[in-house]
Structure formats: C-alpha cells, structure tokens
Chains A and B, each alone.
Chain A
Amino acid sequence: MDTTDRKDSVAKIKEAHRLLKRYEYTPQKIQRGYTNKTLYINISDNTIKSKDVPEEIKDKFTGGKGLGLWYLWNSVTKDTKWDDPENEIIISPGPVGGITQYPGAGKSLVVSLSPTTGSVMDSNVGGHFGPLMKFSGWDALEIQGKAKEDIIIYIDGNKGIVEIYEVPIGPVNSHILAEEVTEFFAESEEEKRNISVISAGEAAEHTLFGVLNFSFYDRRKKVQRLKQAGRGGIGTVFRNKKIKAIAVKYNGVKGDSNNPADIDTIRKLGLKLHKEIKEHDKDQCRMREIGTAHLVEIMDDYDLLPVHNFKYGSHEEAYKIDSKVLAKKVVQGSPDGCWHGCSMSCAKAVQDYELKTGPYKGHKVVVDGPEYETVAGVGSNCGIFDPDYIIECNFYCDTYGIDTISFGTTMAFLMECYENNILNKEITGGIELNFGNKDAAMEVLHQMAKGTGFGKIAGLGVRRIKNLLIEKYGADPKFLNDIGMEVKGLEYSQYVSKESLAQQGGYALANKGPQHDEAWLIFMDMVNNQIPTFEDKAEALHYFPIFRTWFGLNGLCKLPWNDIEPPDNHLTDEPAKVPEHVENYVQLFNSVTGKNIDKEEMILQSERVYNFQRVFNLKMGFGTREHDIPPYRSMGPVTEEEYLSRQERYDKQLKELVGVNPEKMSTAEKIEALREYKYKQYDKLVDAVYKRRGWNKNGIPTVELMKKLGMDFPEVIKLIEEHSSE
C-alpha cells in the first residue's frame, strides 16, 4: 500500500472511530524495574482501573510470565473456556525488561487460556510494547471481557491516558494495521519510533492457532516490523475478544528509563557482551548475519531437521533453503534487534519482496524472518524446499496472524494423511495435499484467512483434526495418534527428537506443550553422550526447564545466553550452562532490583513459577501423567519406509539395546519391538524426572514441595490433595 492510500484509509478510520472510554492516570515512576501497578481493562463493560502489585506477589512470581499466571489463576475457574469472557490476556515484561544496555532485554510475556490446549499458555515475544508499557507506568496489562464491536485500546504513557475506541471499519491484517494504527496515534513522523502496536489478523479469527504480532519501528526501513507471540493461539483469543489492536506510545526512552538500582554494573555487563558478540558471533552462530536460520544446515547434518512430518531428519534438497541461500535474500549490513541494545540482532528482513499470491499479490512488502522454526516448519517438514515459498508463507502467516510452527506441523500432518488416503480430494475440496505441493499449502493458508473451504478444518490444529478424521471419516486412531505431532493439544516445534530420549521428555513434559523453549537437550544427550543415565537426564530435565523459565519472569531473551559464548567457556565445569552468562544474569537482576540473589535463589524464583504452572494445568483438568505422553513419531519409526530409511541404525539398536536379533524379524516386528522398548524407556525417564522435580508418580507437585517454595496458596493445596487421593 502506498502512502496516499494509507493516509486515505487512516482518514476513514478517524471518521468512523468512536471513543468508548477514556481513563486518566498519573504514570507511576519506575522504581528498580517495577512500577508496582497493573492496568486492568474489562472490555465487556469498559471498566479501566489500576491495581497495586503487592510485594508478596513480586516475591513469589517475580514478574513477566509469573505475574501473568497469577492474574489468570485468579480470573478463571476450572470450567472456564478460552472463549469465555472471563479468560484474560495478560502482557508483562518483568523487572529487567526495558534496560537498554544488555542484549535481549525487551521481551513481553503473554499469558492466556489456549484454544488448542484448553489450559494455560505462555508466549515470549520481542517488539517494543512491553518496555514502552512499563515506562508508561504499568508492570502488566490485564485484559478481560469481550467487546461487542472491534476495538482498539490505546495507552499514552506521557499524558497518562488510556482509551478504548470502537473501530468498526478498516483492515485487520497486521502488516497494514500496524502501520495505520501507528499513523493514527503518531503526532509527528519522529514519534513513530515511540509507538508499538499489538495486532493479529484475519486467520486468527478463523483458526485456533492465531498469533499476536508485536511491532517495533524500524528507523532504517521506516516500517513497523512484527515479532510474534506465536504459540498456543493467543491471537485467536485476541480476535475472539474483538480486539483489533492495542497501541502504546511513550516518548523519551533513555538508558535509565527502567530506573535500576545500579546502572553502572548493567553498563559494564552490557558492554562486555557487546564486545563478545562483535568478536565471536561471526565464527559462532552468525546471528547478526542470518539469525536462527543458521541452524538449517546444522540440523540437516545431524539428522534433526524435520522432513515429511518428522519422518526423517534430513533431505538432499535441504541445501536449497539453508542459511547461505537465505542470507542472500535478507537485507545485509544492518542487523536489527527487537529491543534497544540487542547487539545479537537476530531479527532479519527481506525487503521489497513482491508477493505472488493472495489478496496482496503484486504488492512489494517487507517480510520479517524467516527464522529457523519457520524454514523447517513450512519448508522441509512439508517437503517444500523453495525459499521464495518460505518467505511468502512467512509473510502471510504473520499478517494473517497465525503461528508458522503450528501451521507447519499441521500442514505436514495433513500431507501425510493425504498421501495415506486418509484425506482425499473430496474432503479437501479438490486440493492435492501431497508433500512438496507448495501451491496447495498456500491455498489452504489463504482459505484459513477467509475461514472457507478446507482451511476451516486445517485451522483446527492437529489434535482436533485427528478426532474429526477418526469420528467422521473412520480413520485408524492408532496411526493418527502416532503421526499427529502434538502433546496436550499443542503442535510440536521443529526438531526431530527420535534419537534423544531426554528431548522426547523435554518436549512431552513441557508445561504448555511441546515447544523447545523449556529444554533442548539433543546435543547433550544424543551427540555428546553426557547424560547417559536416567538420573542424568532427569537432572538436565530439572535444571534447564527451570533455568530457562527465568528468562520469562524477567523480560529476557534466551538467545544471548548461549547463542554466543565467551571464548573460554570450554574451560568451565559445565559449558552447556554457560556459567559466565548465568553470572551476568544474577548480577543484572541484582543491579536492576537492588536485591541480592545468587544462582540458587535464581533457580528458586523459577521453580516457584514452574510448579505453579504445573498445578495450574491440574486446575484446568490436565497436569497429570496421561498428558505427558508423546506420539510415537517423536520417538521412533512409525512406518516401514521410515524404519527402512535408517535400517542400519535401528537394527543396531534392536541388537545392542533391546537385545533381540533383528535378522529373523520382519520389518513390522522390528518396529513393534523397538516401539515397546522406547515407550518403556520413556516411562522410566518420566519416573526419574518426576522424582527429581519433587512430584508424585502421577506428575503432581507434592504439598511439601509447594510449601518449601512458599507457593502453598490454599487453592493450590486443595487441588493437590484432591488429586493425590484419587
């Protein structure tokens, strides 16, 4: 869209919009990373109020995701569904979030009940919204209720104004909406950089895996760039509430806007990491050059890149979509960070990309990404090795507001169903969903946006499609449950975990469902062979998920923890933990809050929230052992072709691990024997992990643990007791 069109469109919106509510407040000054106030908005009756954040709650939940979980816990009952007005969307950056000197310190954490899992979901996202919201006086934004017509919520952090507008007309898709909303609230060109917008898109209305796009203004390219709170369908909740956009404006970000206790230490730590990244990133992960997409060829080499719905871990055409190819597509020489001071700058952009399909065909657009997860999900996993398709699909997923990971895993599943005649043209409405058919996949994506045709089914996500195919079309439940890559109702992210028992647990035990942000142990386990026993694996599955939870309590990004490493990291006792960087985080927290935690207390902060989230799952009717079981596709070969593709490896496992002689067995028998062995191993792993975490055999945290952690709220204890006596 060119500028005159946009001006017209904005003018129309200005005409049509209607102020529903205006609330004035005196912005709280931030004290050591906290404003100690939460903005509560109920969009059913347009109540807006300020809530205190008590010290006790900060001590127990720290901030970010912790605060979000606490507010949601208090708003929903066990019967609340994602589309009930009681469900909330809570956004909070955490105390460290908003400092400008240390890389990766501008994340927002979003919490809500998920449409796909029915339980509590959290998602971590860049963009400037969280920090600008905090500088505007709010530790968290809590939105409840449902609007009657589409609304836009606006926070002006300098004037101290919150407004709710009804905006019945205008675009919904993010790449246009984010620009228009910015234009709408910016009083000058210069102000645009101080605005961040949250939006979703048309497909978020019609599918269950909608995302939220958080924007940041890219001063060089003069566009709003989009970062996604991707997992678990929070964008779907957003559109279901009839929220079109939430915008914040705050002029005057400075190095001390987060008002930390000891800015000097923060500056020293930040500067040291900037230098480390400058010196070593080019030989380590090349984040500044190509971002997370550097993993494509690495995962392919280690047989971990999902191909054809996670059947295989590599493909001869993977080189067509690897980072060398993608590096030529994205703008070079100006790496972008998703918040001030992120010199890791993994955000990439393809500029002047001319769209080939869909409603914006022929438009030249800026596309964010593509990140590893997107390349693997919409590309290799669907058997599509075309970089332009990946970029186009990335663009439409973003602007329509859907999760590239769930889209990829769902599409790959549908394709396998199609190739096995479980789906056919009658059901797909004539679309030939073979692996590799990029036009077909794109068509389904456009249908998802409109909520038409087969897109309606595809947008339900793997779990519901499985049920539909079983119930309505008589499909074989065993096969579908084996190949449907979901746990708890959430689709898998894009790593093949077949050869790593620890990672099978990392995925299936994760609180919100199989996302690798809790644990990624494949190298430690499968390649390095560092955690051979069940106890070793259990220790890793205790430490890493708990440690990594901490980023989400503080508004931090995980990447600068271990996608850059100090040159002498190999000399440390536990290089996988990157001890120097862990120490940085301890100091950062202390320098912001003026507290005095150590690494042990850091782990405790996370353990509190992690276990609380587990009990939250219990409250919503999940959170027990039966919900922690992975589909067999994530553990071993389901089909004969899959077995035969790595026959040597699997035969060897039968001989050495299972203790049977594969020579006299049919492939079907071999598959069965391996499967039986792998599930037994998995069971033992789960026992060991539960024990290490202080949970009972059914995966429920014990009363003693919750007491020890100080998380023994009466409702928590009651829930645990009810479920433990069953």
Chain B
Amino acid sequence: MIRVNQRDMDFREGMTVKNLLEDLKYSFPNLIVRINGEYIPRESYEKTVIKDNDDISIIHPIAGG
C-alpha cells in the first residue's frame, strides 16, 4: 500500500513515478512530485522507483482555469 495525496493506493512492485502518473492519468504538465518529502524533478520520473509504504504527494500547483 502506498499513500498518494493522503489517500491509500495499491502498490505494484517496480512501479516508477511515471507509471503512477499514467495510472492516475495525471497528465497536467506542471506537477510537483515528492516522495516522503523529497522533491523529484520531472527528468527523474521514469527512473524513480516507488517503494511499498511510500508517502507520495503530487501537487498540481494551479488554482485557476
């Protein structure tokens, strides 16, 4: 189990940040991703592997449409 934005989500062995964003369909271009508080830059989404019990926040920093 992992936490994404304080909500539970199923964990899959080997999943990367990129996979997670795809699963969630988070296609917004400007995301702020942190794993256990640590900022993950966009270039690292593909190579950053998520571990079980990780606490992930994916912030869409926009309050305007």
Interface string of B35-65 (1 = CB under 8 A from A): 0000100000000000000000111111111
Most buried by B among A285, A524, A527, A532: A527
Known: A527-B5, A529-B6. A570 touches B29 (CB 8 A): no
CB distance from B28 to the nearest CB of A (A): 6
Tell whether, in the assembled complex, residue A570 and residue B32 are in contact, meaning their CB atoms are under 8 Å apart: yes
Most A CB contacts (10 A, CB to CB) among B25, B58, B64 go to B64
A529-B5, A529-B6 are known contacts. Are A298 and B28 too (CB-CB below 8 A)? yes
Interface size of B in residues (CB-CB distance below 8 Å): 20
Partner of A301, one of B5, B7, B27: B27
Of A156-164, A555-563, A624-632, the segment with at least 4 beta carbons within 8 Å of chain B is A555-563
A530 vs B5: C-alpha distance when bound (angstroms):
8
Report which of B27, B30, B32, B64 forms a contact with A297, defined as CB distance below 8 A.
Answer: B27
A295 within 8 A of B: yes
A521 in contact with B28 (CB, 8 Å): no
Q: State which of A283, A298, A372, A520 has its C-beta within 8 Å of the C-beta of B63.
A: A520
> Chain A contacts of B29 at CB under 8 A?
283-286
Residue of A nearest to B6 (CB): A529
Also in contact, A565 and B60, with CB within 8 A (given A302-B25, A516-B65, A529-B5)? no
- Point out the residues of chain A lying under 8 angstroms from B32, CB to CB: 570, 575
Contact B28 A577 (CB under 8 A): no
Q: Which residues of B contact A473 (CB under 8 A)?
A: none
With CB as the reference atom, state the residue of chain B lying closest to A565: B30
Assembly CA distance A516 to B62 (angstroms): 13
**A528 to B58 Cα, complex, angstroms:** 6
Q: Taking CB as reference atom, which chain B residue is nearest A285?
A: B29
Structural contact, A523 and B62, CB atoms closer than 8 A: yes
Q: Per-residue 0/1 for B1-41: is the Cβ within 8 Å of any A Cβ (1 yes, 0 no)? A: 00001110000000000000000011111101000000100
Let me know if A528 and B60 touch, CB within 8 A. yes
Whether the Cβ atoms of A548 and B30 lie closer than 8 Å is no
Chain B interface mostly = loop
Interface size counted on chain A using CB atoms at 8 A: 37
> Quick check: A295 and B63 within 8 Å, CB to CB?
no
Q: Closest approach, in angstroms, between the C-beta of A562 and any C-beta of chain B?
A: 5
Bound: A286/B27 CA distance, A? 14
- Which of B28, B39, B62 interacts with A576 by CB under 8 Å? B62
Cα-based distance from A562 to B64 in the complex (angstroms): 7
A286 to B64, CA, bound (A): 16
Contact of A528 among B5, B25, B30, B39 (CB under 8 A): B5
Q: Are A521 and B63 in contact (CB under 8 A)?
A: yes
The answer, among A283, A298, A519, A569, for a CB contact under 8 Å with B27, is A298
Residues of B within 8 A of A562 (CB): 62-64
Nearest B residue to A570 via CB reads B32
Query: What chain B residues lie within 8 Å of A71 (beta carbons)?
Result: none
Tell me if B27 and A577 are in contact (CB < 8 A).
no
Q: Does residue A544 face the partner (Cβ distance < 8 Å to B)? A: yes
Which of A372, A528, A577 has a CB less than 8 Å from the CB of B59? A528
The answer on a CB contact under 8 Å between A563 and B64 is: yes
Closest to B42 in A: A283
Asked whether A523 lies within 8 Å of B28 as measured between CB atoms, the reply is yes
Q: Are B60 and A527 in touch, CB under 8 angstroms?
A: yes
A527-550 with Cβ < 8 A to chain B: 527-530, 532, 540, 544, 548
Question: A residues within 8 A CB of B60?
Answer: 523-524, 527-528
CB-CB nearest in chain A for B29: A284
A302, A548, A570, A576, most chain B CB atoms within 10 A: A570
A100–B57 alpha-carbon span in the complex (Å): 39
How many angstroms from the CA of A540 to the CA of B62 in the assembled complex? 12
In the complex the two chains form, what is the Cα distance from A324 to B60 in whole Å?
22
Distance between Cα atoms of A464 and B35 in the complex (Å) = 51
Q: Could you tell me the distance between the alpha carbons of A339 and B16 in the complex, rounded to whole angstroms? A: 44
CB <8 Å contact, B59 and A575: yes
Is A522 at the interface (CB under 8 A from chain B)? yes
Bound state CA distance, A544 and B39, in angstroms? 26
CB-defined contacts of B27 to chain A, threshold 8 Å: 297-298, 301-302
Which residue of the partner chain, among B7, B28, B61, B64, contacts A561 with CB atoms under 8 Å? B64
**Given that A295-B65, A523-B62, A540-B63 are known contacts, is A570 also in contact with B25, CB under 8 Å in the complex?**
no
A495 at the interface (CB under 8 A from B): yes
CA distance A298 to B21 in the complex (A): 13
Q: For the complex, what is the distance from the CA of A402 to the CA of B6, rounded to whole Å?
A: 44
* Chain A CB within 10 A, most for which of B5, B25, B30: B30
Contact assessment for B59 and A520 in the assembled complex, using a CB-CB cutoff below 8 Å: no
* Residue among A286, A302, A544, A577 facing the most chain B CB atoms (10 A cut-off): A302
B63 neighbours in A (Cβ, 8 Å): 519-521, 523-524, 540, 544, 562, 576-577
How near does chain B come to A482, taking the closest CB pair, in angstroms? Answer: 24
Contacts of A519 in B (CB 8 A): 63
Q: Are B5 and A558 in contact (CB under 8 A)?
A: no
> Once the chains are docked, how many angstroms separate the CA of A302 from the CA of B64?
15
Rounded to whole angstroms, the CA-CA distance of A123 and B5 in the bound complex is: 36
| B60 to A: closest C-beta gap in Å | 4
Give, as a whole number of angstroms, the nearest-CB distance from A478 to chain B. Answer: 30
CA distance A520 to B60 in the complex (A): 12
Which residues does chain B contribute within 8 Å of A283, judged by CB atoms?
29
Complex CA distance for A114 and B25, rounded to whole angstroms: 40
Q: Are A548 and B64 in contact, CB atoms less than 8 angstroms apart?
A: yes
Q: How long is the Cα–Cα vector from A283 to B60 in the complex, in angstroms?
A: 15
Q: Least Cβ distance of A380 to chain B in Å?
A: 15
- Residues of B near A524 (CB, < 8 A) are 60, 63
Interface centre among B5, B7, B58, B60 (most CB of A within 10 A): B60
CB nearest neighbor in A for B30: A284
CB atoms of B39 and A495 under 8 A apart: no
Question: Given A529-B7, A565-B30, A570-B32, are A495 and B61 neighbors across the interface (CB < 8 Å)?
Answer: no
How distant is the Cα of A570 from the Cα of B61 in the complex, in angstroms?
A: 8
CB contacts (< 8 Å) of B65 on chain A: these are 295, 372, 495, 516, 520, 522
Whole-angstrom distance between the alpha carbons of A562 and B5 in the complex? 22
**Cα–Cα distance between A295 and B60 once the two chains are bound (Å):** 14
Q: Which of B28, B57, B64 has a CB less than 8 Å from the CB of A520? A: B64
- Which residue of B has the minimal Cβ distance to A577? B63
How far does the alpha carbon of A569 sit from the alpha carbon of B6 in the complex, in Å?
A: 22
CB distance from B24 to the nearest CB of A (A): 9
Min CB–CB distance B32 → chain A (angstroms) = 4
A558 with B64: CB separation less than 8 A: yes
Which partner residue on chain A sits nearest B27 by CB separation? A301
Chain B residues closer than 8 Å to A544, beta-carbon distance: 63-64
9 A-B pairs whose Cβ atoms sit less than 8 Å apart in the complex:
A295-B65, A520-B65, A521-B63, A527-B58, A540-B63, A563-B64, A565-B30, A565-B61, A570-B32
The 9 A-B residue pairs with the shortest CB-CB distance in the complex, in nearest-first order: A575-B61, A523-B60, A520-B65, A570-B32, A301-B25, A529-B5, A576-B63, A301-B27, A562-B64
- A-side residues, CB < 8 A to B, are 283-286, 295, 297-298, 301-302, 372, 495, 516, 519-524, 527-530, 532, 540, 544, 548, 558, 561-563, 565, 569-570, 575-578
Given contacts A372-B65, A524-B63, 12 further A-B contacts (CB under 8 A): A286-B29, A520-B63, A523-B60, A529-B6, A532-B6, A540-B63, A561-B64, A565-B30, A570-B39, A570-B61, A575-B32, A576-B62
